[in-house]
């Protein structure tokens, strides 16, 4: 009996002592964003170099009350953002790997905060660059902020924060597509 109790206790300590690693949900394209791309009359685009700016803050590793939230795309949030824009361009019929118009990006800020007792927040910022035939046509920082109802209880707060990440990325891309200079650079 002592042995079983000791084994169970050891197992419980091991589980609670190590932080849990959670996976961010895979990106699902926003139909509204796809429709905006279709309606704007842009040309075909390729998506190339999406990188992390590790100098400004840790953008690829953040903690949700001691648990890590990892990207499902090569363990990189730059790859997450690249996948998101590829999905939306593809659904709009504008993704073309051989295009002479190229979108690249530097992810500057990336955070989901579930530490609040009643409210969670998310912030993301990226520098998007559009080049055509090697000539820069666009170079701007775009940001997004989101907020949602959270909870003091971690079992409620953590899954909500996890679910909010793709929505934060959708909002960032919505803000990007709303920039007339970005749309003009793609025409």
Contact 83, 133 (CB under 8 A): no
Give pTM, 2 decimals: 0.84
Let me know if residue 6 belongs to a domain.
no
Angstrom distance (rounded) from CA 9 to CA 20: 18
The CATH number of the domain where 144 resides is what? 3.40.50.10610
> Which residues span the domain enclosing 79?
20-186
Q: Give 86's pLDDT tier (boundaries 50, 70, 90).
A: very high
In this predicted structure, the answer to whether residue 12 has a pLDDT above a threshold of 90 is no
In this predicted structure, the answer to whether residue 101 has a pLDDT above a threshold of 60 is yes
> For helices 154-177 and 77-91, what crossing angle results, to 10°?
50
Average pLDDT over residues 70-77: 92
In this predicted structure, the answer to whether residue 5 has a pLDDT above a threshold of 50 is no
For 118-160, write each residue's pLDDT tens digit. 888 899 999 999 999 999 999 999 999 999 888 766 666 777 8
Let me know if residue 127 belongs to a domain.
yes
Q: Which residues of 25-56 are buried (b: 16+ CB within 10 A; e: fewer)?
A: eebebbeebbebbeebebeebbbeebbbbeee
For 22-56, write each residue's pLDDT tens digit. 888 999 999 999 999 999 999 999 999 999 887 76
Let me know if residue 36 belongs to a domain.
yes
Contact 46, 99 (CB under 8 A): yes
Let me know if residue 176 belongs to a domain.
yes
Let me know if residue 44 belongs to a domain.
yes
Let me know if residue 9 belongs to a domain.
no
User: Which pLDDT score, from 0 to 100, does residue 56 have?
Assistant: 61
């Amino acid at each position: 009996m002592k042995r079983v109790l000791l084994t169970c206790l050891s197992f419980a300590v091991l589980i609670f002592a190590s932080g849990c690693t959670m996976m961010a949900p895979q990106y699902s394209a926003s139909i509204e964003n796809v429709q905006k791309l279709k309606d704007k009359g842009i040309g075909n685009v390729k998506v190339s170099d999406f990188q992390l700016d590790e100098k400004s803050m840790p953008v690829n590793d953040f903690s949700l009350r001691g648990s890590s939230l990892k990207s499902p795309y090569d363990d990189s949030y730059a790859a997450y953002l690249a996948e998101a824009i590829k999905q939306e361009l593809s659904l709009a019929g504008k993704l073309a790997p051989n295009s002479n118009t190229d979108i690249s990006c530097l992810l500057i800020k990336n955070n989901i905060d579930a530490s609040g007792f009643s409210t969670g927040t998310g912030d993301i910022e990226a520098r998007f660059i559009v080049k055509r035939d090697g000539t820069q046509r666009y170079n701007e920082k775009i940001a997004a902020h989101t907020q949602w109802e959270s909870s003091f209880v971690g079992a409620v707060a953590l899954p909500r924060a996890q679910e909010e990440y793709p929505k934060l990325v959708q909002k960032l891309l919505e803000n990007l597509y709303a920039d007339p200079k970005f749309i003009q650079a793609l025409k």
